[in-house]
Amino acid sequence: MKKHYSIWLDNEENIKFPNVKDGIKVDVAIIGGGIVGITAGLMLKKKGFKVAIIESKRICSDVTGSTTAKLTISSNLIYNQLLSNFGIETALKFKDSNILAFNRISKIINENKIDCDYKKLPLYIYSTDKNNFKDIEKEYDAIKKLNIDADLIDDFQLPYEKSFKEINEQNKTTIIKNNISDSDNKIINKAIRYNKQAQFHPKKYCNGLAKLISGNGSYIFEKSKAINIEEGKTNKIITEKGNIFCDDIIIATNSPIYDPNSTVSYMNPIKSYMLGVYVKEKIPEAMFVDINPFHTYRKTQNNNNKDLLIIAGEHHITGHGEDTNEHYKKLIEFTKKKFNIESIEYFWSDQDNRTADGLPVIGETSQKGIYLATGFSSWGLVKATLAGIILKDLISNKENEYAKIFSPNRFKKEKSIKKKCMSNFNKKDLNQEELKLLNEELLNLKKDEAKIIKINNRRISLYKDLKSNTFVLQANCTHFGCPLSWNSAEKTWDCPQHGSIFDYKGNSIHGPAIKDLKDYLN
């Protein structure tokens, strides 16, 4: 395996923006320079607002830089779920708003001549397991009720030629085992085919948008982490590099670093693993989502114009999986069963927040003038544009017909959330005797081993790197104090509750946590 990062971050143009300039005042400050922040920034600027995007790393280098970049008006089997849980009006609004945002992306690309490998393709949401066929049929019934352009199809060509034959063989065996009628078993797969969906290169797209934002009183700032917000008549955002003043604020940090509505208690961070692989098979011109076991397939082209398969799978709630290296191993084994692999070029993982009701969270929070966009349930690229449209309207005091169903105010603020996580742990530095205990533990630690120990009511994480440097940190998240788990593949400490991620040195690299972990050695 070659590169431990996504293909999108490998072959993009490396545009850079400066650090925050202290004291600047804008109309709208946007914290987070992923696709949500960049899209909202551009839409607001075009509407005449002066904006500042404040990004802690480089733009679109977190979740947007890790996505599989399928642009769809669907999110798995969402329409049946929406019809059942909310009824026709909400389901129609979801559909219409997704179509509006989907079309807006191609309009933005055309108007601004953004070269981002945008291509219209069919999307297959399918299963090869007949136990799931009913779910696919129910979804199809729902999308027909909603008048969505899609077909229900059987026995289409799967992304992998090899397994097309294997599944045929498997089905013959099932006929004998289950004594099910021959005609049922002849169907080897079932899919909903959305005919005109699309894919693109997310970093190229965002770079194209970002170039249109800076200038005439608008800014993009990189490597400038926001560490606090002080609300007032004029709001103040305190960053590591200086302060920004503004009227309105958009929190576009993927996991909200400021969350008056406690949305984090209605979301789960879902981790996924991806490979970029050269395979011998010809990969079809389409995108595929296998609903069980959940995997997605699409192709892209590498710099040398050779087709590269992107396969994603092994989803689990962050911090709840087994040893994370095992997930990569399983995904590789799975890919090998389906394809003849020439080489694995890229491997990477990332996470997105899944909301309990399946709808993203977009709108003004209970705190006036502070807006939020999160909860994209791993389908956030079209919804980022939807967020841009809705937030631009709300900030311009214009009514938006879709805003209500996505509003953060649909959640009740949960007062006890902090308490649930907070263990009453000891925040004091280690005394001489405790340091002696710690040193014994460190001596016994192998290279590249991590563990959690308890010393006098403290959870302490230990990690020894390959050069025998040791790192001794608080093992509870700085957000709400939840216990952290070790991610052996990425060498990070992850919060299973709300999705914060810290590198092995203790730096907070993904929200909702902002503060770094306490370091017991320095």
Ligand X SMILES: Cc1cc2nc3c(=O)[nH]c(=O)nc-3n(C[C@H](O)[C@H](O)[C@H](O)COP(=O)(O)OP(=O)(O)OC[C@H]3O[C@@H](n4cnc5c(N)ncnc54)[C@H](O)[C@@H]3O)c2cc1C
347 Cα distance to chain centroid: 16
Least distance between ligand X and beta carbon 271 (Å): 8
Q: Is 380 in the site for ligand X (CB under 6 A)?
A: yes
421-454 per-residue burial string, b: 16 or more CB within 10 A, e: under 16? beeebeeeebeeebeeebeeebeebeeeebebbe
The stretch among 141-149, 175-183, 372-380, 456-464 that binds ligand X (CB under 6 A) is 372-380
Binding to ligand X by CB under 6 A, coded x per residue (else -) over 271-300, reads: -x-x--------------------------
In the bound state with ligand X, the residue whose beta carbon lies nearer, of 56 and 263, is 56
Kindly identify the residues of this chain, within the stretch 150-179, that bind ligand X according to CB under 6 A: none
Residue 388 near residue 406 (C-beta atoms within 8 A): no
Total residues interacting with ligand X, rule: CB under 6 A: 42
Q: Is 69 in the site for ligand X (CB under 6 A)?
A: yes
Q: Is 197 in the site for ligand X (CB under 6 A)?
A: no
Kindly identify the residues of this chain, within the stretch 330-369, that bind ligand X according to CB under 6 A: 350-352
In the bound state with ligand X, the residue whose beta carbon lies nearer, of 133 and 411, is 411
Torsion over CA of 518, 448, 512 and 507, rounded to 10 degrees?
50
Q: Is 33 in the site for ligand X (CB under 6 A)?
A: yes
Residue 197 near residue 121 (C-beta atoms within 8 A): yes
For the chain, the 3-state helix, strand and coil shares in percent, each to the nearest 5, are 30, 30, 40
Q: Is 56 in the site for ligand X (CB under 6 A)?
A: yes
Q: Is 139 in the site for ligand X (CB under 6 A)?
A: no
CA end-to-end distance (rounded Å), the chain: 35
Helix (H) or strand (E) holding 391: helix 381-395
The stretch among 55-63, 318-326, 339-347, 499-507 that binds ligand X (CB under 6 A) is 55-63
In the bound state with ligand X, the residue whose beta carbon lies nearer, of 53 and 462, is 53
In the bound state with ligand X, the residue whose beta carbon lies nearer, of 209 and 384, is 384
CA neighbor of 30 nearest in space, from 207, 216, 260, 222: 222
Least distance between ligand X and beta carbon 72 (Å): 6
In the bound state with ligand X, the residue whose beta carbon lies nearer, of 257 and 359, is 257
The DSSP output letter for 447 is: T
How, if at all, do strands 470-474 and 459-464 pair? antiparallel
SS (H, E, C) 82-145: HHHHHCHHHHHHHHHHHHHHHHHHHHHHHHHCCCCCCEEEEEEEEECCHHHHHHHHHHHHHHHH
The stretch among 44-52, 54-62, 417-425, 455-463 that binds ligand X (CB under 6 A) is 54-62
Judge if the upstream peptide bond of residue 512 is cis by omega within 30 degrees of 0.
Answer: yes
Binder of ligand X out of 193, 511, 513, 520 (CB under 6 A):
511
Binder of ligand X out of 36, 101, 249, 475 (CB under 6 A):
36
Helix (H, G, I), strand (E, B) or coil at 357: coil
Could you list the residues that contact ligand X (CB under 6 A)?
31-37, 54-57, 60-64, 66-70, 225-226, 252-254, 257, 272, 274, 312, 350-352, 376, 378-382, 384, 511, 514
